[in-house]
A and B are shown apart, each in its own frame.
Chain A
Amino acid sequence: MNFKTFAAFVGPSVIMMILFIAFPLASVLKQSFYNTKPIYETVEVESCSPGFPDQICVTEKKSVPKLDDEGNIIETTEFVGLQSYSNVLELERAWNAVKTDGLIALQSIDFWKALRFTLTFTLITLPLVLAGGLGIALMINNATSAIKGPVIFLSLLPFIITPVIGALSINWLFRGDGILTAFIEWYLGRDVSLFAQAWTIELLMMLYRVWHVAPFAGIVFYAGLQTVNTDALESAVIDGASRWQRLKYVVIPHLTPLIVFVSMIHLMDSYRVFEEVVGFSSQGYVISLQWLTYDFLVPDQAGNRSVSRASASAMITMIGIAILLVPLLRRTWNDHKGGH
């Protein structure tokens, strides 16, 4: 293929990637080093609002942003270096907390609290998703061809549901005297409040994520199962290998590249856990890194938002994902090199 043809094929996607991935990333990186804010002046203002029986008027000093001649708010942008990163990480405070009260004290600082949950969530759901996915794949594979279609459809259903909607449904099923909580209460014969402490909420979140993502892993593994060498399987049967041994020594090694692929996708996705926090309104107990970024970014009622900290937090999240992916990428790289 000459260079011109190559460029014509690759060009569009390179342009797309620059436009929609590289450029926004560079922009977020830049914003994390700068801080833009209005210039305020303090003025004494009398403001009146409804009262009973008479209007309530108060005179107080208020910070009002300065406007330019065209009526726009004057803003200044200054380079703040790593200030926003340090505001997110709160390293000094974290260190002092650890020195006096040990690791558990990190739970009082937003970033570390979010990191703790995000990591537990990611690392606990990973093996469950892989095992669940493999289970689903084997189930589909062993189903007779007459019902294969419906089985595939049914097992894919959870994956089709919009994540936030799914999380909200689970929330309503378990919240207060929701149907499933009522059932558990009837079964155990005592009052159960699943949304009254952190660990039950975390458990529900993880169960939900596994339920939601396992079908995806299942369908990928099912595709892989179609290419398992049948000769190898048959010889294993002749050699007297049990079902479990065949799975362990023939099927799983064959699926390894797919397992690595699913693991990578899952690590990237679940490190950005967000829908669960919103859907379960768990902020009072557990927060995630992605939720933290969102919380910085969303404006309060007076219109303030922390764009710099949100950018820094987004960059830190990205670095976190990169670190988590290193072992898997190294493995793929080694396989790649070994194969040639």
Chain B
Amino acid sequence: MLKKLALAGALSVMTSGAWAACAYENTTPLKSLSAGFEAWKAVTDAMAECGNFQASLDQEFREKQPEAFAAKPALYQIGGVANSTMIPLLNAGTIRPLDDLVAKYGQHLAPNQLIKVDGKTYAIAMMVNLQHLMYREDILNDLGIEVPTTYAEMIEAAKKIKEAGVVDYPIGGTFKTGWNLGEEFINNYLGEGGEFFTDGNMPNINNEKGVAALEVMKALTEYMDPEYLVSDSTYVQQQFQQGKIAMANLWASRAAAMDDEAESQVVGKVVMAAAPMGSERPASSLWWDGVVFAANMTDEEAEAAFQVAMEGMDTEMVQANNDAAVWLIDGFTAGPLAKGAYETAQAGTAPYPGSGPMGIMHTVLGNGISDYLTGAKDAETTLSDIEAAYITAAKESGLVE
């Protein structure tokens, strides 16, 4: 019965008032493939209002996208990507330059939304995401602690919180082995002003900046749940919601969950602030999410796809989903939840340096760093082993001679 009702509801949305919210009536069958988090759901729902549109929200999208876009004709007309996931599509030439379409239908787009490579626009960004400091304002106020602006201050604060014993663990961290742990190192290394590669894509992390990044990570783990190597963003979010931790560098996209009354026991108590500063920049990296369009489709399809995407990424959608993300789209009001992301970005955070070699580097970092944190290797050995693993993989991929 419930199923039938839902189906009937879905059908009526598709047939009746559906086009009301969309200024462009779409007659070309279109499909999109993107990640499945809240912001993509909002955007693709808004696209669906134009009709003839089917969205695949899939957390494993990155494994499907390169093949699906290389097909002739492409299996999806619209793709959702981020800094790094655009690289394989761009390298294979399976996404199209959008300058004509932007001139025709995208005059309202902010310059910030146009992702350009070699002067040509290849993607339209809709939001940014980055890791920044979230902290329990009540705890810091009670203990008379200033909001930390560097990791040294954060560790100092953690010490006081631990002594006071008000939470289980003063610090939470997305230190799960693999992608999360790699990202933490990348944030810290960027914060120290490090460069990942030298000429010829050779690795360049075994230096004092790399060691400094590792040491900061290890110092933080002493104030974390000892099971940090299995804790991902969702886990840290839950630790916050259940009042078990007091501070964490967590993704901006998780900010809204802190005030979700259905899940959170700390509504209104978690405040957003800038990511801690490294020696040169904030220890964070700036990510964008946006749409790309397949090269392997007709120009008519491309026009339709672009217009549908623009309808999905319009002011109306942003106003209805203001807190779901830090939107780049006109109409976004940056509330207190977006404060941390803005301050971090304005402090000069580097964009995530997505590239072919960086893909390999991220993987080997994610696999290799736990040996240092568990004490199996010292910092220099860890970094040189990671560099060796990088070179082996990069040679196999043809990126290093």
Contacts and interface: CB of A to CB of B under 8 A. Distances in A.
Interface of A: 35, 37-40, 45-58, 61-65, 67, 71-73, 76, 84, 87, 107-108, 110, 175-176, 193-196, 198, 280-285, 295, 298-304, 306, 308-309
Interface centre among B91, B225, B377, B397 (most CB of A within 10 A): B397
Contact of A301 (B62, B177, B367): B62
A61 B201 CA distance: 9
B340 interface: no
B106 to A, nearest CB: 15
Contact of A49 (B63, B201, B288, B356): B288
A51 B342 CA distance: 10
Given A281-B230, A306-B393, A48 B115 contact: yes
Contacts of B396: 35, 37, 84, 87, 306, 308-309
Nearest to B344: A52
Question: Interface majority SS on B: helix, strand, loop or mixed?
Answer: helix
Interface stretch (B46-54, B145-153, B368-376): B368-376
Contacts of B93: 67, 71, 73
Interface in B65-115: 66, 70, 83-85, 87-88, 91-93, 111-115
B227 A304 contact: no
Contacts of B370: 283-285
Nearest to A107: B376
Interface string B364-392: 00010011011011000100010001001
Query: Which 8 A-B residue pairings sit nearest by Cβ, starting from the closest?
Result: A302-B359, A303-B88, A37-B398, A284-B177, A284-B229, A196-B226, A284-B370, A301-B84
B128 interface: yes
Contacts of B335: none
B279 interface: no
A304 B229 contact: no
A56 B111 CA distance: 11
Nearest to A67: B93
Contacts of B254: none
A283 B114 CA distance: 38
Contacts of B92: 65, 67, 72-73
Interface stretch (B116-124, B203-211, B262-270, B309-317): B116-124
A39 B398 contact: yes
A284 B184 CA distance: 15
A304 B356 contact: yes
Contact of B367 (A61, A63, A283): A283
Given A48-B114, A283-B370, A303 B66 contact: yes
A55 B328 CA distance: 12
A252 to B, nearest CB: 41
A337 B320 CA distance: 78
Contacts of B141: none
Given A108-B376, A195-B229, A309-B396, A51 B355 contact: no
B15 interface: no
Given A37-B397, A108-B371, A285 B288 contact: no
B286 interface: yes
A63 B399 CA distance: 7
B360 interface: yes
B111 A55 contact: yes
B377 A50 contact: no
